[in-house]
Every structure is written in structure tokens, then in C-alpha cells.
Chain A
Amino acid sequence: MTEATAKPASTGAQGLRSRKQASWLLQYVLLQVLIVMLCVLALRHPLSEPPQPTRVSAFSLNDRGAARSVTLPDFVVSRFSMNDPAVYRGSFDWTKDDAARAWSVYLPRFTNGVEVIVNGVAILDSRRDPSANRPDRATPEIAVIPASLLRDGANDLAIKLYVWGPVSGFLDRVSVGPDAVLRPYYEQRTLLFVTLPMVFSAWQGILAVILIVLWAVRRHETAYGALAAAMALGAIQAFLPTAVDQTAHPELSATVIASSAPLESGFVLAFAILFFGRRWPRYGPLMFVPGVLLVLIGIFGNPEALRQSFVYFGIPGLGVNLVLLALVVAWSEVRRQDVPSLLLGCAVTIVLTCWVHDMLSLLQVIPDHRLFFTRLSYSAMLAAIGAGLTWRFARALNQVDGFAAHLVIQLREAEEKLKASFAREEERARVAALARERTRLMRDLHDGLGGQLVSIVALSERGEGGASVGDAARAALKDLRLVIDSMDDIGGDLMLALGSWRDRATAQLRPHEIALDWRVTSPQGLPVHPELRPWHVIQIVRILDEAVTNAVKHAAARRITVSIETLTDASGASSGCITVADDGKGFALAPDGAAATERQTARGLRNMRSRAARCGAGLELISGPGGTSVRLILPRRFPDGDAAAG
């Protein structure tokens, strides 16, 4: 968000931005300091211990031939041998009055392995417990002493402490007493240091599966790939067997366990860099160097070298990665101020604090009971990662919703624009159609009405009144009706236009006492032509008019027959045919097809042919002594443009 507002901003705004960032950074750092203080308080808070009477503190230690008396807790120098354990010898009192209750030996903390011997009989060997063999887990041990072993009075207690470096040997205060008294303390520690880490590891496994799926579906999100690798590694190492002498591939397990922490921290750091949108640094691969080194040593070196290397590479590598992670997250928090970076930042601070605590404990700088918390505190990081990813996911869903809403708005706007442009286009088309219709109307009026009116004027001027003026005027009116009639929408059914024409023709023929026979061969008459336009209708009607006028004026006919039929050819296509036949005297046709008898007739025939051609119709003229027949064969499809009309 800050990026978006900063881009067009001036230097003043940038200054404001950096001041804002500085104040944010201060707040963030103060929050982390508070978290460190809370962590230290929690770490310093002592765990509850069994009551004083059960403690066995005075021991004589026999270590590498030298004997001395010691008080627990006690440290033993680091070594790599399992054959000469340090032996602590002490004693505790038991009376027969206690025979009703079971007695136990409780060891809250030791590194690395213990064997407990009561009155010369071994009752516990921690090296068979895989959890206890992990020095990073403060696994407690408890063993019930068989009643038959106990003697009234003083009993011998010997503890063999096995050490397999690099961590120095450690034995915390041992308690011997009634099982009912000791067990709650044991259970409390088991819950904290064994069960909880197992639960977190299981959770890490689930997280690994989710992230692997996420990464498999979205390959370009390498950040999730890196995090999936970290989670998978963490989950696998937690469940690897570590029981001494019982593992199938002890070297492999040891390698994985030793390299897991530095490698895992490297992957988490890589995830943070990619997730928070930083460019992948040129020296990025260096963060994996300690882990890879440990893997190589594990494969090619011996277990002792691996353990030694873990101290020199693994633990510092982990620390360096944690510090870098804290810096990356802090940078992201200052830049973005979002929930995932804040959560992860706090988690990193907790882990880092615990790591420092563990370092100090390992180096025996602080008086402590040698409890390592780094693994445990790592669960805070897992929680932060889970919460951060969920937050990111929810925000992405919100963004999708917002995007959809935005899209709906845009769609509506586009729709409105389209509607407006469509209306404009429609208006333009309407205006164009109107102009076309006006042109056509003018031409039709010019062709018919205009000429007839002019001839009326001419006849009147010559003083020829009476019948010819009346005929010309009547013809003009008839043409006017035709033009008006042709403007009506007849839905492509030429029969509707012919119906009106029949009315007019009948009225025209009545004074001449010529009968009009109307023969329609089928009830529906002619095929319907959706492409039929008014100008087609006018041309066809004028052809029919011309044929009727010729019959009246020149043929001296008594009867005119109009036949309307639908012709169907071999292919099944149908076309209309209108025939106007009279019983007049006919006329001779010149070889070129034009009439030779009268000039006017010739002009009339020429007009009929050109009108038929403009409509794509065929015209057949047969004339003989028995009469004249004009046969108009309509096209299957009327032409669109009036090309021949010019």
C-alpha cells in the first residue's frame, strides 16, 4: 500500500514516508524487546521439583579411574566412548513400612544416556528410548524399583552416565521415593519435553503436505516450495529412530538429524526472502552451506566427526540464519506492515532468544538444569507460519471478491457504453433508411405521377379536354395509390400487394366493360419472400399495369385473365409466376423481340423488360391472333440492390 502511494509522491512525501517507517521500526523493535523480556522470564521460571526428602544428592563419582565425591547436578567432560561410563554411587533409605507403596527412581534430566542399578541389579537403560537419546529434548526417565530388590535400611544406587559428545555429560538431581509422589513430576516434564514436541512435529508434517500440494499446483510460487522443504525436513527428522544399536542405518539417521536444523533454517530463510517479495540475493545459496557440509561429513566422515562438525557448523549456522531471518522479517514489517510479517517477526524473536539461552546453557555460562528450548520454541514459528498463510489466503479470497465486484461494475459500464453506441448506430441506420426511402419515393413519384401530371398539363394547354385529361388524371391517382400502397409492410407476401392491385385493376377495367379473371392455383398463391422490398413490389405491379393497359388500349380485349401459380422445378425449389393474358387481337413481334406495330407499345414493352430485369424476374411475351400473354417468372430470391435503376 505504501508502495502504491509513494510512487507518484514528491520528496516531501518521501520524507514523510521514511519518518513514518522509522517510527514503525521503533515500535516493532520495542515490541521485540518486550517479547525477549517475557521469554527470559519464562525461561528463568523454575520447573517444579520433587520434595527435598526424596532427593539423593551425595554421590561418589568414579570417572576414568579417578574417584571423588560429588553433589548433583554434575557435569562430566565430553567424550566419544560408550565403554567407560562415569559411575555415580550413592544410597537411599527404605523401610519395610513402605512396602505397600511402589518406589521409583526419577531422573529429571541427563545427557546423554543413563543406566540405573539398584542393589546391583540394573532397572533402567535410557539408551533404548529413542526420545531420550536426543540431547535437544529434555526427556525425563522414571523406573519403578522391584520390591524384591529393596532392603530394609540403606540401599545401593549406582548410575552409569554414558556420554557421546560433543555435549558434555550431565546428571541432574536424582529422586528416589514413592512412585505416587514422583510420577506427577515425571508426567509434567514428559508432557512439556516429549509429548508437545511430538504434537508439533505432527503438525509440521501436515503443514508440509499442505505446502507441497500448494507448491505442486502453483509451481511459480517458489516460496511455498522452500517452506514445504523446510517443513518436510523438520517433520522427518523428528520421527527418525535414534535408539542405540537398533537402527538400520544409524549413519543416515545421524546425518539427517545433524543437518536438519541448519538446512531447515536455511529453507525458512529462503521462504521469508521470497515470500516477502525481496529479490533473491546473489549470496543466497551460502545459507545452505553449513547444512550441506554436515550432509557431506555425515556421508563421507565418521559419527564422531559429524558430531564435532555439528557444534562448529550446525549450531552457528542455525544462529546466523535466525539472525538473517529476523532482519528480513523486520525489513518486511517496516515496508508492508502486514499481519504475516508481524507474526513471523515475533516468532523469530522467541526462537532466537531460546537459541541464545541454549547456547549459554551449553557453554555452562548460566547456572541451569541444561534444558534446551530451541526445538520447543520452534512451534511458535510453526504457529506464526500457519496463521500467516491463512491470513494471506483469506486476503486473496477478499481480493478475488473485490475483483469480481470491480469486474461487475466494469461490465455494467461497458454494457452502457455499448448500449449508447448501439442506439447511436441504430439512429444512424434509421436516418440512412429514411434517406433511402425518400430517394425511392421521389423516383417512384417521378416515374409515374410526375409524368402523368405533365401530360395532363400538356393536354389541357392544347385544349384537348375531356376523356384524355380524365384518363391521364385517373392514371395519376392510380399511380399515387400504388406508391402509397407499396410503402405498407406486406411481410414478403406478394399476394397482399396483388390483392390491392386487383381492386384497382377491376375499377380501371369496369368502364371499358372488360372482365378480369383472377385465377389462383393454390390457396397460398405465391411463395413468401422475406427479402421482398417496396421497390420490387412497385416494379412488379407496374409491369402488370402495363400489360393490362396494353390490353385495354391496343388489343381491344374483352377479357383479361390473371393467373397466379407457384412453379416447382426438378430440384424442388419453387418460384412464383404471374401471367396476364388477354383475348385481344395481339401484335406481331419483330425478330429482336420488340414490338413493331406501334411506337407506344414498343416503349411499353421495353419498360416491362427493364423493370423485370431490375427485379431479377423473367418476362415471356407471346402474342398472336388469339391474344397476348405476358408471363412474369419471379426470381427465387429478389436482388438486394437496385443496380439497374442507376
Chain B
Amino acid sequence: MTPSTDELPAGEIRVLLVEDDPPTLWRLQDALTKAGFDVVAAATLAEARASLARRIPLVLLTDLQLPDGHGVELIRETRQRFPDTEIMVISILGDEESVISAITVGATGYLLKDAFPTDIASTVRDLVAGHSPISASIARFIVRRTQKSAEPPPGPPLNTTRLTPREIDILWGIAKGFSYAEIAGHLGLSRQTVPGHIKSIYRKLEVHTRGEAVFEALQQGLIKL
């Protein structure tokens, strides 16, 4: 049930694509199919759940705004039921609001809707290989949350208390536009370990259970008893 992803050929990688806008869906499906992925498409939350019940995908690609619900629900369910499935959110702008809220429920990457076909395929392949993509603006959003400020900053709530100083340094480097190699050089790391750190950052930002979510919201002062 848990195949070693690194050796899998593209054809063995099953992707569940959830997108309600037909042209966008065609475009993404085309790009992934041409790259050799096994793509199953769904236009609604219900269809996606039905598909998940039939067969477990290795990768879930989902839009957030769906006709019958929010993509965040699907991500949370999938993350809880199938921990081995890699989840990516499809975003128009790659903005913090959508990407961060997806990360906190278990997504480990994001895909821009207008990305070039080659980029779409390589991003999914990288994700399967354990390399989570992160943009400078997402990194910037996360590191600014690690800085102590008097009032909570705008945007979705985010608990950064579990990030290590090294991980925060890596995020600073990404936010300032440095490449992985440059960051590794500045911090005295091996270039290959940087993507692993980024995946670890995503995992740490995830809120695992309902109880933990309440606990963390309390810690951050979002809820007052």
C-alpha cells in the first residue's frame, strides 16, 4: 500500500485532481497526463470523496473554492484518513491566505493555476520525491509570524512555535530570494537537506487534531476563555 515513491515511474503515480473550472481542469489534466501521470478528475467535493472511496491516490491536487464545499475540508479528511497521500492546493495567485490555510490542515505544497505545463508536471514529481515547493512570499509570511508583535498580524492563524531557529533561517533565505544552494552555503548545510527542512516546516505548521487546534488557538490568544 505504501510504495517507495522515488523509484515509481510516472504512470504508477495516481493523481486525484479536484477543480470545478472546466478549462483549468483540462489544462492541468493535459499537462499531467502528457507527463505520464494517472489522473482522475473531480469537479466537486462529492465526486472527490466518491473517488477517494474507490481508490486511494498518491497525490491529491485540489482547488479551494468548490461548488459544494471548501477544499480545506477535503484536505483535512484526506490527511487524516490517508497520511501517505501527498496533498497540493491549486491556487490562482499563490497568496498566503489560501496556501497557509491549506498547509495548516495538511497540504505540503501548492500549484499555480497558470503555471507552464512543464512546471506543473515537475512540481508534482518533486512533491512525490519529497520536495515541497515554497515561494518567497509564503516563506515571508511564515517568518513574519515568528517575530513577536504586540497584536496578532492579519491573515489566517499560524502557530510557528515549533519551528527551530535553523528552519526560520532557511525561511528567511527563501523570503529574500536566495537559492537553496546559497542558503545551504550561508548556513553550512548540505544543499540536499534543504528540501527536507521545508517539508518538515510544512509538517510543523500543520494543526493535527481538533483538541490541538483549540490548544494552539488558546496559546496564540485567538480564543479567550
Residues of A within 8 A of B (CB): 473-474, 477, 480-481, 484-485, 488-491, 493, 495-496, 498-503, 507, 510-511, 518, 520, 523, 525
Contact = CB atoms under 8 A, between A and B. Distances in A.
B175 A496 contact: yes
A383 B96 CA distance: 86
Given A481-B93, A495-B177, A523-B186, A488 B137 contact: yes
Contacts of B139: 499
Contacts of B176: 493, 495-496, 498-499, 520, 525
A502 B118 CA distance: 19
A512 to B, nearest CB: 10
B137 A510 contact: no
Q: Which 9 A-B pairs have the closest CB atoms?
A: A499-B136, A499-B177, A502-B177, A495-B176, A500-B136, A500-B137, A499-B176, A499-B175, A503-B135
Nearest to B114: A477
Contact of A507 (B95, B116, B141, B175): B116
22 contacts: A477-B114, A488-B141, A491-B144, A493-B176, A495-B175, A496-B136, A496-B140, A496-B175, A499-B174, A499-B175, A499-B176, A499-B177, A499-B178, A500-B135, A500-B177, A503-B137, A507-B112, A510-B118, A511-B116, A518-B179, A520-B176, A523-B186
Contacts of A523: 186
A507 B137 contact: no
A503 B116 contact: no
Contacts of B47: none
B114 A489 contact: no
A53 B24 CA distance: 144
Contacts of B177: 495, 498-503, 518, 520
Interface string B102-144: 0000000000101110110000000000000001110111001
A82 B40 CA distance: 147
Contacts of B178: 499, 518, 520
Interface string B171-207: 0001111110010001000000000000000000000
A496 B114 CA distance: 23
B116 A481 contact: no
B157 interface: no
B82 to A, nearest CB: 30
A488 B116 contact: no
B186 to A, nearest CB: 6
B36 interface: no
A523 B182 CA distance: 10
Interface string B79-106: 0000000000000111110000000000
A485 B137 contact: yes
Contacts of B174: 499
Given A501-B177, A503-B137, A520-B182, 7 more contacts: A481-B94, A503-B135, A503-B136, A507-B116, A510-B116, A510-B118, A518-B179
Pick the most buried of A488, A489, A525: most chain B CB atoms within 10 A of its CB: A488
Contacts of A480: 93
A480 B93 CA distance: 8
A528 to B, nearest CB: 12
Given A498-B177, A500-B136, A489 B186 contact: no
A490 B140 contact: yes
Pick the most buried of A480, A484, A503, A510: most chain B CB atoms within 10 A of its CB: A503
Contacts of A495: 175-177
A419 B175 CA distance: 39
A484 B96 CA distance: 10
Contacts of B186: 523
A513 to B, nearest CB: 11
B109 to A, nearest CB: 14
Contacts of A503: 135-137, 177
Contacts of A477: 92-93, 114
A493 B177 CA distance: 12
